[in-house]
């Protein structure tokens, strides 16, 4: 626990010192969402139909784009090598890193999502489900995306490749995340779908860090 705590503290501190990295995904999220009423139609009844998908696609892209540089700075400064050869298993610092990243980029998205959902004309009764679905979904997105980031860390044109690798893996989370909001908006039962989202999160949180550290080892060539 102490190794984990120390790693978490370090990661949080590093991220805290470069606030642009946590604010930019948030702005991206808000901006992308505000494009849709302008591009499709500002009519409330149209917006309410597309809102779940728009919220989720925007969140997914924001998380994915924020991950591109997740391991790059560590690799450039050589910290990554140390991390992988340290006596502690690589999974521990990797998990801390993912948690820190989610706390400072994913969680803000969750917190502003009710405002955006309201702007997209979703009924107030649904706002809780919106937050809950993003709360369960965005950590899974961070972890899955980190696998792609780990595999492309040494490549200088990682951005678009990361999208090609990661977007297909995001599809189940997207389907259930947007689906639960849609079900709630139509007045259906949501608990079962939330449970599936939770199961996806449990699966990614348990196996994901292993895959991420394996990917980092492969990318650093040992």
Q: Specify the long-range contacts of residues 83-86, CB closer than 8 Å, at least 24 apart.
A: 83/216, 84/213, 84/216, 84/217, 84/220, 84/222
Site for another protein contains 165 (CB under 8 A): yes
Q: How many residues bind another protein (CB under 8 A)?
A: 30
Task: Provide the token pair at 57.
Answer: 């696609």
Q: CB under 8 A: which stretch of 74-82, 86-94, 121-129, 156-164 binds another protein?
A: 156-164
In whole angstroms, the minimum distance from the beta carbon of 171 to another protein comes to 6
Nearer to another protein, 8 or 138 (CB): 138
Instruction: Give the footprint of another protein on residues 67-126 (CB under 8 A).
Output: none
How far is 40 from 43, CA to CA, in rounded Å? 9
Q: Where are the alpha helices (DSSP H) in the chain?
A: 2-17, 19-39, 44-67, 72-77, 79-85, 91-101, 107-119, 127-151, 158-185, 191-219
Please pick, from the candidates 115, 155, 189, 202, the single residue that binds another protein as defined by CB under 8 A: 155
Is residue 171 at the binding interface for another protein, with CB under 8 A as the rule?
yes
Least distance (Å) between residue 41 CB and another protein: 21
User: Cα(43)–Cα(37) distance, rounded to whole angstroms?
Assistant: 8
Is the CB of residue 23 less than 8 Å from the CB of residue 113? no
Interface region with another protein, contact rule CB under 8 A, candidates 2-10, 88-96, 130-138, 166-174: 166-174
Residues 195-214 that bind another protein (CB under 8 A): 200, 203, 207, 211, 214
The nearer residue to another protein, 51 or 104, going by C-beta atoms, is: 51
Identify the burial level of 160 via C-beta atoms within 10 angstroms of its C-beta, where 0-12 means exposed, 13-18 middle and 19 or more buried: exposed
Of residues 92, 90, 69, the one with CA closest to residue 81 = 90
Q: For another protein, which residue of 176, 181, 190, 201 counts as binding (CB under 8 A)?
A: 176
Q: Report, in angstroms and rounded to the nearest whole number, the Rg of the chain calculated over CA atoms.
A: 18
| Residues with Cβ within 8 Å of residue 32, at least 6 apart in sequence | 57, 58, 61, 62
Among 6, 48, 169, 205, binds another protein (CB under 8 A): 169
CB of 56 to another protein, least distance (A): 13
In the complex with another protein, which residue's Cβ is closer, 139 or 215? 215
Q: Interface with another protein by CB under 8 A: which residues?
A: 144, 147-148, 151-152, 154-155, 157, 161, 164-165, 167-169, 171-172, 175-176, 179, 182-183, 200, 203, 207, 211, 214-215, 218-219, 221
């Amino acid at each position: 626990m102490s190794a984990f705590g120390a790693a978490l503290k370090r990661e949080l501190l590093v991220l805290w010192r470069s606030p642009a990295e946590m604010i930019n995904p948030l702005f991206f999220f808000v901006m992308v969402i505000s494009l849709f009423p302008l591009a499709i139609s500002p009519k409330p009844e149209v917006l309410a139909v597309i809102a779940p998908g728009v919220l989720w696609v925007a969140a997914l892209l924001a998380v994915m784009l924020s991950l591109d540089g997740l391991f790059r700075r560590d690799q450039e400064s050589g910290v990554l090598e140390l991390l992988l050869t340290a006596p502690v298993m690589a999974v521990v610092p990797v998990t801390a890193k993912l948690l820190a990243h989610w706390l400072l980029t994913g969680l803000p998205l969750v917190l502003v999502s009710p405002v955006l959902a309201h702007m997209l004309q979703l009924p107030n009764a649904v706002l809780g489900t919106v937050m809950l679905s993003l709360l369960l979904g965005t950590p899974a997105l961070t972890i899955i995306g980190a696998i792609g980031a780990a595999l492309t860390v040494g490549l200088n044109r990682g951005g678009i490749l990361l999208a090609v690798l990661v977007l297909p893996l995001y599809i189940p989370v997207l389907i259930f995340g947007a689906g639960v909001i849609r079900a709630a908006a139509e007045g259906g039962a949501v608990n079962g779908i939330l449970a599936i989202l939770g199961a996806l999160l449990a699966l990614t949180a348990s196996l994901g860090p292993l895959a991420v550290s394996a990917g980092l080892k492969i990318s650093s060539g040992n």
